[in-house]
Amino acid sequence: MSEQRSNQTQQSVAVEARDIVRTFHIGENRIEVLKGVSLTVNHGETLFLVGPSGAGKTSLLYTLAGLEKPNEGDVVINGRSLYRLGRREQARVRNTSMGYVFQSFFLLPELTALENVMVPAMIRGNYAKARATELLERVGLGERTTHLPSEMSGGEQQRVAIARSLINDPAIIFADEPTGNLDTATGSAVMNLLMDLVNERERTLLVVTHDHSLARIGDRKVTLVDGCIVD
């Protein structure tokens, strides 16, 4: 019976950090950014990472998202040890199981909104034009599919980025300060949109934000201070 409960617990966990250590060297100085951080995020949970600047929030998010390898510790995604996989398999997991939304949007300037949304699907060999069009309509940009990023506002660009993050229907979305370059009203609208899209598909969402009031809309808030979780 205990084994059955253990299996059920493992199946409910989407992302797990196990004693994550991240260090950087500046000259002869060794800076420990993450100091043995452990964290579990369940399927369908919306978790906000908050804390002061330099606390290690983005480093933790990028490590959990498979973008930066930890110096020590492990990251488990859907029961699989991410950094024990080969590079090609890691890339496949990132492309199929994860979506990303960044503060600076990271849209390709020479591509239209529709083309930007299609990029992750095209990496998989899937043209996905109909799906990309549907997502742009869902985020309120059905009339902007042929516009370049330079022809869109910051809020519109972030909506394109949200649509792009969902194109492969990933189980987990990672968002790094998704409202950081937006004014308060636009940021609130964008965050509510992201939450709605994630919740309707019962996906897992991890968000880094400096805005504690914004973090109240999530299921759980985790605070990092000086590379450690304090609550």
pLDDT at 124: 86
pLDDT at 30: 86
Give the span between the Cα atoms of 72 and 62, in whole angstroms. 14
Domain boundaries, the chain: 2-229
In eight-state DSSP terms, residue 153 is -
Residue 182, φ and ψ in degrees, nearest 5: -120, 155
Global pTM value: 0.91
pLDDT at 25: 84
Give the span between the Cα atoms of 187 and 158, in whole angstroms. 9
Give the span between the Cα atoms of 181 and 162, in whole angstroms. 14
pLDDT at 210: 87
Residues 10, 39 contacting (CB under 8 angstroms): no
Residues 15, 64 contacting (CB under 8 angstroms): yes
pLDDT at 28: 83
**Tokens coding 142:** 């059905």
Please give the CATH superfamily to which domain 2-229 belongs. Answer: P-loop containing nucleotide triphosphate hydrolases (3.40.50.300)
pLDDT at 11: 57
pLDDT at 207: 97
Q: Which helix (H) or strand (E) holds 154?
A: helix 154-166
Q: SS3 of 225, please?
A: strand
Mean pLDDT by 10 residues, the chain (231 residues): 41 92 88 95 96 93 96 94 94 94 95 97 90 95 97 96 95 94 90 92 94 88 95 76
pLDDT at 229: 96
Q: Which helix (H) or strand (E) holds 224?
A: strand 220-225
